[in-house]
Structure 1
Amino acid sequence: MSSHHFVKEQQEPALLILDTKDVSYDSIAPLLEWVPTVMVAQDEVFAVISWGIKLDLILAEMDFQKNNYRLLEEQYPVKFLGVKDGAFLEEALQYLVATKHSAVNIIGYDHLHVFELQEKLNFLDIVIIDGQMRYYPVKSGKFKKWFPETSIQLHAPEGTLLEVITTEGASITEVKYATMIDLPEGIVEFKGKEIFWIGEMLNQQ
């Protein structure tokens, strides 16, 4: 059965598009495979429509809603989700939690602000796509994964100590701004005392 026959049941990660700068359709097409709930901030609506993506919710302030009411017909069954004072991210996350979504991929969010999402991680699995990097949190403080030979970014409050165990041995990394580390191919284990984020290049997914 092809994916478009499935009824949405909030099981697949929703897709929240806040900014399309430095993002191509090809980079997010894999996220659309299982027909997720698609939410778009008002300033990106026409760019996303031009990609041929079907929208579910447009995060919009009142003026935008009034001036673009025809979108409700043209993109039916799209709906507006009202936003005040530019709080697109906050409204979107509140909606996703209220509608029992379990996960969301956020496009166009500055990864330097991921720690502002900490509280929402209790309710949602969040992945950030910022430019050509994909960031995901390690909530438990421990994470193990197979990597190709690559470079990744570790993101945590400045001065955080993380243990990185590779096929070549264990080392302690002190996280500073944009801490990049090189990994050999194989299973890599990360250990830390607090939540931290790992950034990978999209093209190695």
Structure 2
Amino acid sequence: MSSHHFVKEQQEPALLILSTKGFGYESIAPLLEWSPTVLVAQEEVHTVISWGIKIDLIIAGTDFQKNNYSLLEEQYPVKFLGVSSEDFLDEGLQYLIATKHGAVNIIGFSHKQVFSLEDKLDHLDMVVWDAPMRYFPVKNGEFKKWFAGESLQLHAPEGAFVEVKENDENQIHSITYATFIEVGEGFVNFKSNKVFWIGEFVMDY
């Protein structure tokens, strides 16, 4: 299956870069494998260009567009996606939903604010990258995945409960800020009556 197929069908997760703080090209490069749609907030445009990444849409205010009009020619066929209130995240997500994308990797968004995304989870699958971790939501109450043995963060509203089952042993965690758990190698089953997010370390510091 070619990368062209993915782009045409919007199957490959888009890449929405809000901040590059804590990230280098090496950490983002694997997400570019199938030529996803790349959206970049105005402050990060020159950094992303310096990495050699081809940008599809620059989310930008009026002043930035006027002062950087030459980018339309230099980075053709890049386009501007206008934003009036500097809410680059919301503008980017609305665009992806409108263009029938099914998923997005959001780079440089605070995991503390992921609950604000939940009204869009019915329309988009999201993975939030907040260095040095990435967070993905469990939307349907239950989730099972194989892990190699690592530390995970369970991120849910304060006081929520998440049941974790591995090797036929059950533990129920009452969530407080930064609830970290250790899981061994093998399948781990998670269950809760609320939407919650699982954070995995993806970088070594």
Matched, 1:75 2:68: no
C-alpha contact (below 8 Å) 1:167/1:184 kept by paired residues? no
Runs of 4 or more above 4 Å deviation: 4-7
**CA–CA distance in 1 between the matches of 2:18 and 2:117?**
15
Q: Does 1:59 align with 2:53?
A: no
Tell me, yes or no, if structure 1 residue 202 matches structure 2 residue 173.
no
Find the counterpart in structure 1 of residue 166 from structure 2.
166
Unpaired stretches in structure 2, ≥5 consecutive residues: none
Distance 1:192 1:5 in 2: 36
Q: Is the 8 A contact 1:40 1:59 kept in 2?
A: yes
**Count of residue pairs brought into register by the alignment:** 204
Matched to 2:44, the amino acid is E
1:5–1:95 distance in 2 versus 1, CA, 3 Å: closer
2:116 aligned residue: 116
Whether the aligned pair in 2 keeps the contact of 1:13 and 1:101 (CA below 8 Å) is yes
State how far apart, in whole Å, the 1-side matches of 2:87 and 2:163 are: 36
Q: Name the CA distance, whole Å, in 2 between partners of 1:54 and 1:165.
A: 43
For 1:179, the equivalent position in structure 2 comes to 179
What are the residue-to-residue correspondences of 1:6-85 with 2, within 5 Å? 7-85=7-85
Equivalent-residue separation in structure 2 for 1:138 and 1:113 (angstroms): 16
TM-score by length of structure 2 reads: 0.96
Query: What secondary structure, in the 3-state scheme, does the structure 2 residue paired with 1:85 have?
Result: coil
Give the partner amino acid of 1:52. Answer: G
Aligned partners of 2:45 and 2:58 also within 8 Å = yes
CA contact (8 A) 1:22 1:131 kept: yes
Provide the alpha-carbon RMSD of the alignment. 1.5
Asked if 1 retains the 8 angstrom alpha-carbon contact of 2:127 and 2:136, the reply is yes
What amino acid sits opposite 1:177 in the alignment?
Y
Provide the residue aligned with 1:134 in structure 2: 134
Give TM-score, length-normalised by structure 1: 0.96
Q: 2-side partners of 1:187 and 1:87: how far apart?
A: 38
Q: What's the CA shift for 1:3?
A: 3.5
Asked whether the equivalents of residues 8 and 36 of structure 1 are also in contact (C-alpha less than 8 Å), the reply is no
Q: Which stretches in structure 1 are left out of the alignment for 5+ residues?
A: none
Give the counterpart letter for 1:84 in structure 2: S
Q: Say whether the 8 Å CA contact 1:158–1:177 is kept in structure 2.
A: yes
Instruction: State the shift of 1:8 in Å.
Output: 3.2
Distance 1:158 1:12 in 2: 33
The alpha carbon displacement at 1:149 in A equals 1.2
What CA distance in whole angstroms lies between the structure 2 residues aligned with 1:58 and 1:7?
18
Q: Is the 2:7–2:37 Cα contact (8 Å) retained in structure 1?
A: no
User: Which string of whole-angstrom CA distances, capped at 9 and with x for unpartnered residues, describes residues 15-64 of structure 1?
Assistant: 00000000111111111000000000000000000000000000000000
Equivalent AA in structure 2 for residue 112 of structure 1: K
CA distance in 2, matches of 1:3, 1:56: 15
> Do 1:105 and 1:127's aligned partners in 2 also have CA atoms closer than 8 Å?
yes
Confirm or deny: 8 A CA contact 1:104 1:127 kept in the other structure. yes
Deviation at 1:6, TM superposition (A): 6.0
